Amino acid sequence: MIGWAARRVLQALVTFLLAATLAFFLMRLTPGDPLARLTEDRPLSPEAVAALRARYGVDKPLLTQFVVFLGGIARGDFGGSIEHNGRPVAALIRERLPATLLLGGTALALNFLFGVAVGVYQAARAGSRADHALTLVSLAASATPSFWLGLVLAWAFGTELHWFPVAFMSEPWLASGASWSIRARDLLWHLVLPALTLSLVTFGATARYQRAAMLEALALPSVRTARTKGLPERLVLWRHAWRNALGPMLALFGLWLPLLVAGSVFVEAVFVWPGLGTLAADAIASRDYPVLMGTTVLVSAAVVAGSLLADLVHRWLDPRLRES
C-alpha cells in the first residue's frame, strides 16, 4: 500500500506541475498585453513602461519567466499583485482562503448529504414515480445557473422573508467585543444562503452516481445473503449495500472539486463573500494577472490533491485492495 501510495503521490505532483506549466504558457501565449490595464489610461514614457515591465518581470525572455514562475511555486511566491500595488499575491490568497474553505467545505458536506439521501432513496424505490420525479428534480437542479439561483434565494429568503442575510460573511456593525457565540451564529447565518446555493446546483450529479452505485450494490450476491438472514431492511440497505456503494462515490471527489471551485466564483460574487472567488472575479475586472495565475495554480493544486485523496481513501476503505 505504501509503495502504491508513493507512486500515486508522485504522479499527482507531475500532473500538478504540468497543469501549472499549461496555465503559464496559456497566459503568456494568448494574444494581449498583461500590463495593458496599467498603461492604457495614462500615457507613460518608454522608461516608465520599461520600469513597470521590469518590476513585474515581463521584460525577460519567456523561458526565464517560466523558471522564475516554477521557482515561485515551490516557495509559494506568486509575484506581486498589479492592482494592489505589488502586494504579494500569496498574502492576498492567504487572507481569502479560509472564507472559501468554509463555504466550499460546507457546500461539499451539504452536497454529500443531499446526494446520498436522494440517491439511496431513489435506488430503494427504483422505477417508482418518486424515483422518476427525483431524477427530474436532480436534473433541473444541475441545469440551474448558480449565480441566478443565488440571486433568487437571496431575494426570496433574504430581502423578502428576512430570514437570512444576503451579503458578506458577517455584519459589519458587530462590535469587536461581541461574544464568541454571537459571532458564531452570525457567521452561520451568513453561510446558509451561499452554501445552500452551491450545494443545490451540484448535488444532482452526486445523487445520480449514488443511485447507480446503490442499484449495483443491491444486486450483489452478498446483499442477497443479507436478506436471507432476515435482517431488517435498513441494515440491508445501509450496512450491506451502501458500504459497497461507497467506494465508487469517492471517485466523485474529482468531479466535485472543480464544480465547487467554479461555482464558488459565481456564488461568492453574488453574495459578496470575501473569498478566493471574489478575489478572482475582481482580478478579472482589473486585469490583475498575477492574482489570476496565483488562484489558478492554487485551485489546480486543490483539484489534484482532491483526486489523490479520493484514490487513497478508496483504497484504504476496501480491505481487499489494502493488501495488494
Partner 1 sequence: MTPLLEVRDLRVTFPGTGNEVSPVDGVTFSIDAGETLALVGESGSGKTLTSLALVRLVPLPGRIAAGSSIRFGGTDLLALGPGALRQVRGRRIGMVFQDPMTSLNPVLTVGDQISETIRAHFPVSRAEARGRSEALLLEVGLGDTAGRYDTYPHQLSGGMRQRVMLAIALAAEPELLVADEPTSALDVTIQAQILALLDQLKSSRRMSVLLISHNLGVVAGRSDRVAVMYAGRIVEEAPTDRLFAAPAHPYTQGLLASLPRLRGPRRPLKAIPGMVPRPEAWPPGCRFHPRCAQVMPQCTSEPPIVAPGEGRWSRCWLGAEGA
Partner 2 sequence: MKRPPGGLRLAWWDPAGRVGVVVLGLLGVAALLGPALLPDPLAQPDILGGALLGPGAGHPLGTDHLSRDVLARVVSGARISLAVAAGAVSLSVTLGALVGLAAGYLGGWLDAMLMRLVDAALAIPRLFLLLIMIAIMERIPIGVLVLTIGATGWFGTSRLVRAEVLRLRAMDFVRGAEALGASRRRIVFRYLLPNVAGPLAAATTLAVGDVILIEAGLSFLGLGVQPPTPSWGGMIFDAKPYIISAPWTSLAPGLAILLAVLSVNLVGEALARPLTRRNA
Handedness of CA 242, 243, 248, 249 (dihedral sign): positive
Single out the residue of 40, 224, 238, 272 in contact with partner 1 (rule: CB under 8 A).
224
Q: Which does 185 bind (CB under 5 to 8 A by kind): partner 1, partner 2, none?
A: none
Binding mask 91-130 for partner 2 (x = CB under 8 A): ----------------------------------------
CB of 26 or CB of 91, closer to partner 2? 26
256 touches partner 2 by CB under 8 A: no
Which segment (112-120, 123-131, 134-142, 313-321) binds partner 2 by CB under 8 A? 134-142
13 touches partner 2 by CB under 8 A: no
Binding mask 20-59 for partner 2 (x = CB under 8 A): -xxx--xx--xxx-x-x-----------------------
Which segment (57-65, 97-105, 190-198, 276-284) binds partner 2 by CB under 8 A? 276-284
Interface ranges with partner 1 (CB under 8 A)? 219-222, 224-233, 235, 239-240, 243-244, 317-320
